[in-house]
């Protein structure tokens, strides 16, 4: 095999992240699209990207990943990414001592590792989408029995 990523430790000491990878690796993640922005470019990421949270269409996660089997998460409240020619260069970090997480695996494993680091999404509340039960042709006695059953089962 070949190395998936190489980290430049000298760049890290200077407050930036510089990684090398195979030039043909497809890269995804980082940002999204503003509501008025063309989505014609699709999901692949190249060139300059900005990780920013809280804006329309932006996930805010400073996470870039590849279907080649790796992901990079930078613990920063925003950053500037340059994705080009087999390199991932990350500057504009929000703090001098930044944690960088390198992950390996297929996409489900990468997103599992990301969730382990950042927190798993909570389960959707049981009745958040409501509850509907349609009964056609029942009489009042059957209706009252159904309502009593729902109350006993704590169905709202």
In this prediction, residue 132 carries a pLDDT of 73
- Encoded tokens for 61: 């996660």
In this prediction, residue 130 carries a pLDDT of 73
Classify residue 69 by its DSSP letter.
T
* Beta pairing partners, 87: 20, 84
Distance CA(113)–CA(105), nearest Å, equals 9
pTM of the model: 0.67
Domains along the chain? 6-118 (2.60.40.1760)
Distance CA(70)–CA(60), nearest Å, equals 19
One pLDDT digit (tens) per residue for the chain, 156 residues: 789 999 999 998 888 899 999 998 988 877 655 556 666 665 556 655 655 555 555 555 678 889 999 999 988 877 888 888 899 998 888 887 888 999 999 999 999 999 999 889 888 887 777 777 777 888 999 989 999 998 999 887
In this prediction, residue 7 carries a pLDDT of 92
Instruction: Provide φ and ψ at 115, rounded to 5°.
Output: -65, -35
Classify residue 100 by its DSSP letter.
E
Q: What angle do CA 131, 136, 138 make, to 5 degrees?
A: 105
């Amino acid at each position: 095999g070949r190395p998936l990523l190489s980290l430049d430790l000298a760049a890290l000491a200077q407050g930036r992240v510089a990684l090398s990878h195979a030039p043909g690796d497809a890269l995804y993640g980082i940002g999204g699209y503003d509501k008025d922005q063309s989505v014609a470019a699709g999901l692949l990421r190249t060139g300059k990207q900005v990780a920013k949270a809280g804006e329309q269409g932006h996930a805010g996660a400073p996470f870039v990943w590849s279907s080649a089997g790796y992901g990079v998460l930078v613990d920063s409240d925003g950053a500037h990414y340059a994705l080009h020619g087999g390199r991932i260069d990350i500057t504009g970090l929000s703090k001098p001592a930044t944690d960088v997480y390198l992950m390996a695996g297929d996409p489900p494993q990468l997103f599992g590792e990301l969730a382990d680091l950042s927190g798993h999404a909570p389960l959707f509340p049981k009745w958040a989408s409501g509850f509907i039960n349609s009964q056609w042709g029942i009489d009042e006695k059957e209706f009252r029995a159904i309502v009593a059953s729902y109350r006993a089962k704590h169905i709202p």
